[in-house]
Chains A and B, each alone.
Chain A
Amino acid sequence: MIEVKNLVRTFKSGDRTIKPVNDVSFELEQGTLASIVGKSGSGKSTLLSLLGALDKPTSGDVVVNGVSLASMPDAKLTNYRRRDIGFVFQQFNLIPNLSAVDNVMLPMEFAGVRKAARLERARQLLEQVQLDPDKHVRRINRLSGGEQQRVAIARALANEPKLILADEPTGNLDEQTGEHIIELLSALSRDHNTTILVVTHDRSLANKTERRFRLQQGRLTEETTRTRATAAVTG
């Protein structure tokens, strides 16, 4: 269960202030697959980074399973990011001189998972996102954008987080792989009770989510609410 309460994030740009997140409130039940759509520059990434504790709100709060992020000290926020969150960045943000498996193993290393177990799980995850096995040990900067996108998704899944925040995860993928990633994410939310919030431009992806939000000039509105069953039918 994640509760977002009157979240505001402002930036000073010269002499004027911009409000990419302006009094946003919503709740997501555990296991929900939700999407946020909106024009470029409408504040989607800013909102996601507040939920992922990469940034601090100007005001308001995010409460995860009853625990407020606003009151958390820095070290606890690190734990929150490591254990509870899987973040898929718009620009992937992988470590360029490490291999695909090494990148996927990193969050597990920070969580203290033993080396053999990390390696096995990393390979499993890379298979799930359909990265060629011979590319598992290839350095990130020698993989294509689509391949990097898949490694980034595998890394987000590494510590079995309760909440996955994905910023345009299919933006760099061909239609077929994109489809597969969407299926993977919805299977996770269904089978592992993982809450998933996806920022997307992709209509077909948005249509497959149970809840769909639209962000316009920092204001969040919910478009339609469907049950999982109808979503699957119309999708």
Chain B
Amino acid sequence: MSVLARSVGNAFRNKVRTAAVVAVLAVAIGLALAMLVANQAVTGKVAELNASVGTVLTVNPAGGQGFEGGGEPLTAAQEATAAAVPNVTSVVGTKALRLRNAAEAAAETASGRTGQGGPGGQTATSVTTSLTAAVDAGTLGNRNQAASGASGSGTAGSTQAAPSFSLPVTATGIGAEVDSTGKALQLTQGTGLGDYTAASTGALLGTTLATKNGLGVGSTFTIKDQTFTVKGLFDAGTAFGNNALYVTLPTAQTLAALPGELSTMIVTVNSMENVDAAKTALQAALGSDKADVTQGQRNLQTAVSSLDSVKNISFIAFAAALATAGLIILLIMVMLVRERRREIGVLKAIGAPNRTIGLQFVLEALVLVAMGSVVGAAIASFASGGIASALISSSSSTTAATGQRGGPGGFPGGQGGAFGGASQLLTSVTASASPEIIATGIAAVFGVAIIGALVPALLTARIRPIEVLRGE
């Protein structure tokens, strides 16, 4: 019989108590591990958000956004001005076009309607295409159409049967391979457009738009009677986002017959900390009467700060659960040592060195913690995914509410899409228990267990054997 065998035997001396101790340890260790995993997942997500979308500013013409509002369009000169602002790493210009199905537009003209009206602004950028929108008008589309038709021309007879109507397709000229929120395009097929600052007849189509029109990479279609070739397909993650296409910026400007004119500029700042300063500087450089600078991903920044608090809470919870596990094993070992004082005295009396006695109790504690850890790790592997996504989704729902309240009006579909993307991004956080994380957590508990066993055992071993042998 060795020290180890004796320790294992002692760990099972009182089976009911051992089971209870292991169960309590397992819950504490499992919770600690789950919290560590959640913390890790949130940390990763925060870094990802900071790196990608948290640093983007959007510049719109003052008083206008998308196809709504008024004011003067942005120019190439303003693009250069924006690029010169400190901490700005890139400026990507975009030119948005609204594409109407050619056959439908002809039918509308014939019936006396002047195309989709609007409250003014940049309606001039509507052009015709051979494409059919992938989104059905539905109740919302028809309601919008009726409203804008009334304010636009007011000539359509209300008794007249409504002609076939579909939503327009958004075509955006972009100066780099990013979507209208500054995120890199997710190409699912094909290639990009190469040089986005030169005119080309290539286009990138959203997956649903391509499917609706039976197009694939290499297929052709027309915009304003010019033939374009599909170079790639992208997935924006939302139905609205996928009912869109991208061409290069000069191509869009040529199609709109407005060379050098921009709808928006997507400005990327070098780091999260500099975003606020850069925003102020950019607004000052462009002039508040000329351009509106908005932090398009304000909601994401809020998300990051709320994720940061989740990160802190999960770390505190990890530390607390770990401390609880430590406290449990500490108290158990103190109790066990007290209970076996006499036995320690006997071992001392027959010549056991203090280190042997210490080792015996440390091994016993480790056996208990090892069993607790195995059960706890099993609990954690079941629970951590749920805990992490619960923490993150609850934080992102509050974020969405905050964002919506402060968000700009107009183009609600677009904003909704952005929110959809953001919450999808956040809820897609999945906690994966990396072996390193688990090892760190368990090592910490083992460390506490060693101290918890060693200190009381050595304190008892140090007193004269007769003092513990007498009496009882």
Contacts and interface: CB of A to CB of B under 8 A. Distances in A.
Q: Do A and B come from one complex?
A: yes
A189 to B, nearest CB: 21
B371 to A, nearest CB: 19
A93 B466 contact: no
A82 B353 CA distance: 9
Interface in A94-132: 94-95, 97-98, 102, 105-107, 109-111, 115
Contacts of B342: 93
B166 interface: no
Interface in B412-469: 462, 464-467, 469
Contacts of A115: 2
Contacts of A43: none
Interface in A49-87: 49, 52, 54-56, 74-75, 78-79, 81-83, 85, 87
A98 B354 contact: no
B351 A55 contact: no
Contact of A83 (B6, B348, B351, B353): B351
A184 B83 CA distance: 103
A85 B349 CA distance: 9
Contact of A56 (B3, B13, B464): B464
Contacts of A54: 349, 464-466, 469
Contact of B349 (A56, A81, A97, A159): A81
Contacts of A136: none
Given A78-B354, A110-B356, A87 B1 contact: no
Interface string B1-44: 11100100110010000000000000000000000000000000
Given A55-B466, A93-B346, A98-B6, A75 B1 contact: no
A112 to B, nearest CB: 11
B343 interface: yes
B466 A87 contact: no
Interface in A33-51: 49
Interface in B335-355: 342-343, 345-354
Interface in B347-394: 347-354, 356
A115 B2 CA distance: 9
A146 to B, nearest CB: 20
A85 B351 CA distance: 9
A213 interface: no
B462 A78 contact: no
B470 to A, nearest CB: 9
Interface residues of B, number: 26
A20 to B, nearest CB: 12
A75 B354 CA distance: 8
Given A98-B6, A102-B1, A110-B356, A155 B350 contact: yes
A168 to B, nearest CB: 15
Interface residues of A, number: 30
B9 A97 contact: yes
Given A109-B1, A110-B356, A87 B350 contact: yes
Interface in B312-352: 342-343, 345-352
Contact of A93 (B10, B351, B462, B469): B469
B349 A95 contact: no
A74 B342 CA distance: 18
A105 B349 contact: no
A78 B351 contact: yes
A87 B349 contact: yes
Nearest to B1: A102
B2 A109 contact: yes
Contacts of B345: 93
Contacts of B469: 54, 89, 93
A80 B465 CA distance: 13
A102 B10 CA distance: 14
A82 B1 contact: no
B10 A97 contact: yes
Contacts of B347: 95, 106
Nearest to A115: B2
A97 B13 contact: yes
A105 B1 contact: yes
Interface string A159-170: 100000000000
A49 B354 CA distance: 19
Most A CB contacts (10 A, CB to CB) among B9, B347, B348, B465 go to B465
Contact of A78 (B1, B3, B9, B352): B352
B351 A81 contact: yes
Interface in A143-179: 155, 159
Contact of B466 (A49, A85, A110): A49
Contacts of A82: 350-352
A52 B465 CA distance: 10
The 7 closest A-B CB pairs, nearest first, are A82-B351, A55-B466, A54-B466, A54-B465, A81-B351, A93-B346, A102-B1
5 contacts: A54-B469, A78-B353, A89-B349, A110-B353, A155-B350
